[in-house]
Structure 1
Amino acid sequence: MSGSQARRAASRLYAAGSRASSSVIARALGLDTARSVLTRGSFASTWSHRAAPFSASAHASAAADDRALARNIGISAHIDSGKTTLTERILFYTGRINEIHEVRGKDGVGAKMDSMELEREKGITIQSAATFCKWKDSDINIIDTPGHVDFTIEVERALRVLDGAILVLCSVGGVQSQSITVDRQMRRYNVPRLCFVNKCDRTGADPWRVLRQVQDKLKLNAAAVHIPIGLEENHAGVVDLVRMEAVTFHGPNGNDIKIEPIPNDLKALASEKRKLLVEAVAEVDEELGEIFLMGEDPSVDQLKAAIRRATIAREFAPLFMGSAFKNKGVQLLLDGVVDYLPAPHEVENKALDLNKEEEEVQLVSDPKAPLVGLAFKLEEGRFGQLTYLRIYQGKIAKGNTLMNTSTGKKLKVPRLVRMHSEEMEEVTEASAGEIVALFGVECKSGDTFTDGTVNLAMTSMKVPEPVMSLAVAPKSRAESANFSKALSRFQREDPTFKVRLDEESGQTIISGMGELHLDIYIERMKREYKVEVDVGEPRVNYRECVTQKATFDYLHKKQSGGSGQYGRVVGYVEPLEEGNQGVEFENGIIGNAIAPGYILACDKGFKEAAQTGGLIGHPVEGVKIVLTDGASHAVDSSEMAFKLAALAAFRQVYEKAKPRILEPVMSVEITVPNEFQGTVIGNINRRKGTVKDSTSEGDDVIITCDVPLKNMFGYSTELRSMTQGKGEFTMEYNNHQPVTQDVQAELCQEYGKRQKN
């Protein structure tokens, strides 16, 4: 049987759903099953954290081009999985910092990447932070991202510009809600990833359960490249399944690394897991598949090269293990970043040619090509706006002239820096594949910069719609200027933070991704701008309507010396057909009981009166006003007299027309795992919602319902708690519907109290 026939036969076995062992495939293909399919190969190379990351041939080609050694990676995970702790260890082992500090900053210092005071207080990452370091011969740009779902835009824009990522998973928590969201974002931007099972020292640690969840929940073709040497308090290190050797970490900072033969009690497990590793990679890599099906044992270099090819192709995810907090496994993970994640030139990046009707153009990671860079993140720095720029091709230098293809404006680069958390390091130039920051450049997040020789635009990132709003106002007028400055800055920095002025209520409404998101910005106003803020729910935009026909006959007469005021209007009001929300005026007078010049004044008067209903002061809609008769005076009648007559007539007839209050009702679509369907629907019923549809989609159920807006406040937080953070929802305005009688009475009572006050 030829190699290609063997591969096709193996593919058929896998397509049939069989996780067949190598010996099963060998028998199926008629190979010599007496031969050991995956025996332990003999190799003399010894692991060292300074060992060459590539095979000799790969290293030789890399030496010819320094770009092959660069890495741009992000560290993403569910909240409290240990991302920032892991980044702190990476910076220590690569020599970027001299001391390790912990996340919550109990020692008064805090983790390097959590530079904001709020981050150190709360022990969470709020803003993504960039840094760079060197491991072996490779330059690594790192972005540490938040784990909380409220700050998902920080993960979104980081993954948009990165070439690879580390997905950190807790060995106890496993694949959690934000792990699924982050994985979805990695797929959206075609980012290859390594998985790191962190916290193997914690009570209840089970990395094999986490691996199963990665395979089942994330649907990744993943396999372990490590097995732990001890778990919980006995965790000492890992067995490297690629090199088949035990690596343990000693000393206060895990710097003392010992490489020894695999302990006897782990040899059988290591052999079994290595077979599974080779099998998983051979399933998606043609070269290793050839070796595997011929019953040969791949060498270290062959296996590493195959894992690299499969990882870059996003067909395999190697799973590393360790404990960042206890300083175990981080150096091996850094080796994995260099060995398995792509260099900038190995990633396909496309732009749109604005001169050719947005035709797609393939970018090349070459410093000699025309410059193309993407501004992916903005910050307000001490010296003005700080713009983070990912350079996709070409070169940028201090003093260069750039063109913003979004605005067509040209500008000079006044200052170029590389970021190390909040610290800046001046650089004179930067090339394709690097991440730098510019000062004094006015632009928006997502703008593309070129050198002017090409007119290209990078594709935009996905910006989720805000799901929660609050009404805010400064406590004193003296703080209004700083209040406006803060809102303006936050909007520029964060595309998910929106500000609008409600025309009806006059309130300033801020919208964001959740309660924590908005709370952080309110706290930042207080700390950074010295603005104390009053916070409340935004006023619900109620409406009023009439429910039956009623007649009016009103005479406006005023005499106080000189010319007086006189105007009489007669007619009726009635509700419009369902679905018609306007205010209609009809002149039904036959003859000239009212001079034609005053009819327009009547129209204005009635419509002005409809702007303020008599129940709770909200606009009246869905009403038709018909003028049937009236009277005017030759001397005392005027436009003002008839406008005032119309205003008073509408208020007189309004109560007789049995008015009702209408509330805004939202169309809500909720996506939750099947097991939470009953709980979520019960909660919708308690919020006086109406479930319209419920459909299954894989392991999830999509519930469509209509819910009054006032009952949706706080729903995002409650949905997360009901569904262990796995539920998502979107909502949009549907229509206004009548409130119940008890709610109407309550609203009228509240309005009456406000009027008295």
Structure 2
Amino acid sequence: MRTVHPLPAVRTVRTVRNLGILAHVDAGKTTVTERILYVTGVTYKRGEVHDGTTVTDFDPQERDRGITIFAAAVSCDWDGHRLNLIDTPGHVDFSDEVERSLRVLDGAVAVFDAVAGVEPQSESVWRQADRHGVPRIAFVNKLDRAGADLDTAVASIHDRLHVVPLVVQLPIGREDGFTGVVDLLRMRALTWRAGGAAYEDGEVPGGLREEAGRRRRLLEETVAGLHQAALEEFCADGRLTEATLRTALRDLTRTGEGVVVLCGSAYRDRGIEPLLDAVVAYLPSPLDVPPVRTAADPRQPFAALVFKVAASATGRLTYVRVYEGTLRKGDTVLDARAGRTERVGRILRVQADRHVDVDRAVAGDIVAVVGVKAAGAGATLCDPAAPLVLEPPGTAEPVVTVAVEARRSGDTERLAAALARLVEEDPSLTVRTDPETGQTVLSGMGELHLEVAVEKVRRAHGLEVGVGRPQVAHRETVVRGVAGWVHRHVKQDGGAGQFAQVVIDVEPHDEDFVFVSAVTGGRVPREYVRAVEAGCRDALAEGPLGGHRVTGLRVTLTDGATHVKDSSEAAFRAAGRFALRDALRAGGTVLLEPVAEVTVTVPGDAVGAVLGDLAARRGRVTGQSARAGTAVLTATVPLAELFGYATRLRGRTQGRGTFTARAGGYARVPDGVR
């Protein structure tokens, strides 16, 4: 039986783990988080998603819809360590919430469904973690489900994520008979009784000893092939000790060369304690990540990154990850990007929607502060005497828009204020006024994202809001190059003149925008080259075809000319803007539309109807396979054609079909389609 040790009175940064729980929607991510809180003693009753009693999914919309929408932070203690967990959304529309969370995390647990394996959004969040260099361990969940198979799930991790899985457990029993796991490092059996609060540690069952031995040997061989010290011991002794395996697994996890895989059933409370042990053993502490100035030293000048802003009953909550130094209640901090100071009135340890006041936060902590009035997500808060700007998390461009208006004319100003607060809390939303119609336009990452946003305005502010039909955000791109385009910018208005001449080549490119200078002989000074690039970026805002943003091109500055008195950065910026604008008009652009990669799971007898419907929606089927008596179809479909698809799919499959989608970039709109 496992004993939970209390947190030491004096905590060090080494005993902190800042981790996220990542997964595809419905993989059991929130249930894993709830069981972690229960096992560590934070809660005394198991929270259930289907009952609406979870700690982390506390927002009314989350409980109504049964999904995670907003990242929630909680803390717990395990084996002398403080674990700061962020439960992230699994739906593709809220991927920016995941992005902001990953920016401040040191490690993550990726949760996979033992039946479905790696699903589309699993792959997306995995790639997001790759971009941020976040080490991960994997937890294959729902081993008690019909059709669950650890080996199949592990194969999908290997094949779809292109990583080396290091499986450290063997399931005991299958599907409904799943009762525990064999720990392959200690060669011990861990079993859980129905409704039991702790596991029993015993001998490996006789029928599994041979298989456990084979898998332990396979684990040793795989680790030896990736880790130099392990290879030396394996060659010398023909085996690896438990201590060597643990050290090697820790190193491989943190370098990303391998991914430790555990398994269990969170809903049935099986496998959570070994998962927590793995978090402590293999995921990094703040001291193990690249330092900002020094390695997470509480004695250094204070520096923290804002990753989330939320309204609450206690006021505006600003969530921060402290990277260096110590923050105390009442301190004055600098918003480094804005150049203004803010006073911290309170510091809160966050447990989802519950908060506990603390006197200070030190390097490695994730806390919320009250009193910071203007700093938004991505801002750096630091010691005014030691300014520092941390890299903010990226924000994806919105792809779906709706027009919104107040039902009552007297509520127009209230709606504007509510939308402004909404955008402050969620930077992936944007609000603008359409210059032609005068309508207020709300843009976001998907249909569900906008539904949630509008419903939040209705509930939080008591407003009656009218919403128009969703529209997708188009783009424009070039299809043929334009070489040697010359633009001479000359302006005389009685004062100092403006003169700039540029020569540019424009050609299609795989990236969003690339600017290159090929000017020789100093014909365009370096500071003017930067101004030309800025002008070209200005021109990308509105394309010649329909005023949409232009993407997918490379601009090369090949030549230019200056005037000894009248040339300036402003003149060359204007020249760059007009040159690219005119070159795009001359070369012509084509319209692009956002597309989604869709995975549809349907009964076998409904495949024909679903394929026909996908074709009618201009979908391109990319794959078809069978899984547990159902058909799984993958297709690329224009995002505009997916509005209302969930209802249509249920109708064509008698309610048995489901689908998931993830962003698939942009594709050219066929001629005749607008």
**Do both share a fold (TM > 0.5)?**
yes
Q: 1:277 aligns with which of 215, 219, 228?
A: 219
1:75-94 correspondence runs (5 A): 75-94=21-40
Cα 1:112–1:50 change in 2 (3 A) is closer
Alignment pair present for 1:153 and 2:96:
yes
Deviation at 1:369, TM superposition (A): 1.1
Q: In structure 2, how many angstroms separate the alpha carbons of the residues matched to 1:128 and 1:473?
A: 28
Q: 2:406 aligns with which of 456, 461, 474?
A: 474
Alignment pair present for 1:489 and 2:421:
yes
Q: 2:397 aligns with which of 465, 474, 478?
A: 465
Alpha-carbon contact 1:375-1:447 (below 8 Å) kept: yes
Cα 1:321–1:528 change in 2 (3 A) is same
* Equivalent residue number for residue 323 of structure 1: 265
- Return the letter of the residue paired with 2:48: E
Alpha-carbon contact 1:153-1:463 (below 8 Å) kept: yes
Alpha-carbon contact 1:467-1:716 (below 8 Å) kept: no
Q: In structure 1, how many angstroms separate the alpha carbons of the residues matched to 2:187 and 2:75?
A: 31
- Aligned to 1:161, the other structure's residue is in SS state coil
Q: In structure 2, list runs of 5 or more residues that go unmatched.
A: 475-544, 547-588, 602-608, 623-633, 650-656
Deviations 1:171-230 (A, max 9, x none): 111100010001001101101111001111111111110001111100111121111111
Alpha-carbon contact 1:105-1:121 (below 8 Å) kept: no
Backbone CA RMSD of aligned residues: 3.7
Deviation at 1:672, TM superposition (A): 4.9
- Return the letter of the residue paired with 1:728: A
* Equivalent residue number for residue 728 of structure 1: 663
Alpha-carbon contact 2:401-2:473 (below 8 Å) kept: no
Deviations 1:668-701 (A, max 9, x none): 365759999xx99999985789x9xx9xxxxxx9
| Greater C-alpha radius of gyration | 1
- Return the letter of the residue paired with 1:87: T
* Equivalent residue number for residue 517 of structure 1: 449
- Aligned to 1:462, the other structure's residue is in SS state coil
Cα 1:702–1:523 change in 2 (3 A) is closer
- Return the letter of the residue paired with 1:180: E
Q: In structure 2, how many angstroms separate the alpha carbons of the residues matched to 1:459 and 1:729?
A: 26
* Equivalent residue number for residue 422 of structure 1: 353
Deviations 1:318-346 (A, max 9, x none): 10011110000101100010111111101
* Equivalent residue number for residue 497 of structure 2: none
* Equivalent residue number for residue 136 of structure 1: 79
Q: In structure 1, how many angstroms separate the alpha carbons of the residues matched to 2:26 and 2:291?
A: 32
Alpha-carbon contact 1:514-1:717 (below 8 Å) kept: no
- Aligned to 2:103, the other structure's residue is in SS state helix
Cα 1:291–1:540 change in 2 (3 A) is closer
Deviations 1:464-488 (A, max 9, x none): 1111111111111233233222211
Cα 1:395–1:226 change in 2 (3 A) is same
Q: In structure 1, how many angstroms separate the alpha carbons of the residues matched to 2:338 and 2:661?
A: 40
Alignment pair present for 1:205 and 2:148:
yes
- Return the letter of the residue paired with 1:286: Q
- Aligned to 2:75, the other structure's residue is in SS state strand
* Equivalent residue number for residue 112 of structure 2: 169
Deviation at 1:533, TM superposition (A): 1.5
Q: In structure 1, how many angstroms separate the alpha carbons of the residues matched to 2:73 and 2:143?
A: 27
Deviates more, 1:279-288 or 1:81-90: 279-288
1:211-222 correspondence runs (5 A): 211-222=154-165
Question: Percent sequence identity over matched residues?
Answer: 37
Deviates more, 1:295-304 or 1:73-82: 295-304
Deviation at 1:728, TM superposition (A): 2.9
Q: In structure 1, how many angstroms separate the alpha carbons of the residues matched to 2:9 and 2:251?
A: 19
- Aligned to 1:725, the other structure's residue is in SS state strand
Q: 1:372 aligns with which of 284, 303, 318?
A: 303
Q: In structure 1, how many angstroms separate the alpha carbons of the residues matched to 2:378 and 2:473?
A: 34
Deviations 1:493-544 (A, max 9, x none): 11111111111112111111111111111211221111122111279999xx
Q: In structure 2, how many angstroms separate the alpha carbons of the residues matched to 1:727 and 1:411?
A: 39
- Aligned to 2:212, the other structure's residue is in SS state helix
Alpha-carbon contact 1:74-1:159 (below 8 Å) kept: yes
- Return the letter of the residue paired with 1:489: R
TM-score using structure 1 length: 0.65
Alpha-carbon contact 1:504-1:541 (below 8 Å) kept: no
Deviation at 1:155, TM superposition (A): 0.9
1:595-614 correspondence runs (5 A): none
Alpha-carbon contact 1:509-1:538 (below 8 Å) kept: no
Deviation at 1:714, TM superposition (A): 4.2
Q: 2:277 aligns with which of 335, 338, 346?
A: 335
Q: In structure 1, how many angstroms separate the alpha carbons of the residues matched to 2:375 and 2:32?
A: 33
- Aligned to 2:115, the other structure's residue is in SS state coil
Deviation at 1:409, TM superposition (A): 0.7
Q: In structure 2, how many angstroms separate the alpha carbons of the residues matched to 1:501 and 1:665?
A: 25
Q: In structure 2, how many angstroms separate the alpha carbons of the residues matched to 1:139 and 1:539?
A: 45
- Return the letter of the residue paired with 2:27: S
TM-score using structure 2 length: 0.73
Deviation at 1:390, TM superposition (A): 0.1
* Equivalent residue number for residue 241 of structure 1: 184
* Equivalent residue number for residue 293 of structure 1: 235
- Return the letter of the residue paired with 2:450: L
Alpha-carbon contact 2:598-2:660 (below 8 Å) kept: no
* Equivalent residue number for residue 507 of structure 1: 439
Cα 1:674–1:416 change in 2 (3 A) is closer
Cα 1:235–1:387 change in 2 (3 A) is same
Deviations 1:380-422 (A, max 9, x none): 1223321000001111110111111011111221111110010
Q: In structure 2, how many angstroms separate the alpha carbons of the residues matched to 1:384 and 1:162?
A: 25
Q: 2:343 aligns with which of 412, 422, 436?
A: 412
Q: In structure 1, list runs of 5 or more residues that go unmatched.
A: 1-46, 54-61, 351-361, 543-619, 622-663, 695-700, 744-757
* Equivalent residue number for residue 256 of structure 1: 198
* Equivalent residue number for residue 308 of structure 1: 250
- Aligned to 2:201, the other structure's residue is in SS state strand
Cα 1:273–1:402 change in 2 (3 A) is same
- Aligned to 1:103, the other structure's residue is in SS state coil
- Aligned to 1:464, the other structure's residue is in SS state coil
- Return the letter of the residue paired with 2:55: K
Q: How many residues align?
A: 537
- Return the letter of the residue paired with 1:219: H
* Equivalent residue number for residue 572 of structure 2: none
- Aligned to 2:334, the other structure's residue is in SS state strand
Q: In structure 2, how many angstroms separate the alpha carbons of the residues matched to 1:128 and 1:64?
A: 29
Cα 1:410–1:511 change in 2 (3 A) is same
Alignment pair present for 1:105 and 2:36:
no
1:313-712 correspondence runs (5 A): 313-350=255-292, 362-441=293-372, 442-537=374-469, 666-668=591-593, 670=595, 672=597, 712=640
Deviations 1:332-382 (A, max 9, x none): 1000101111111011144xxxxxxxxxxx442110111110001000122
Q: In structure 2, how many angstroms separate the alpha carbons of the residues matched to 1:148 and 1:726?
A: 9
Q: In structure 2, how many angstroms separate the alpha carbons of the residues matched to 1:460 and 1:541?
A: 25
Cα 1:141–1:727 change in 2 (3 A) is closer
Q: In structure 1, how many angstroms separate the alpha carbons of the residues matched to 2:45 and 2:112?
A: 25
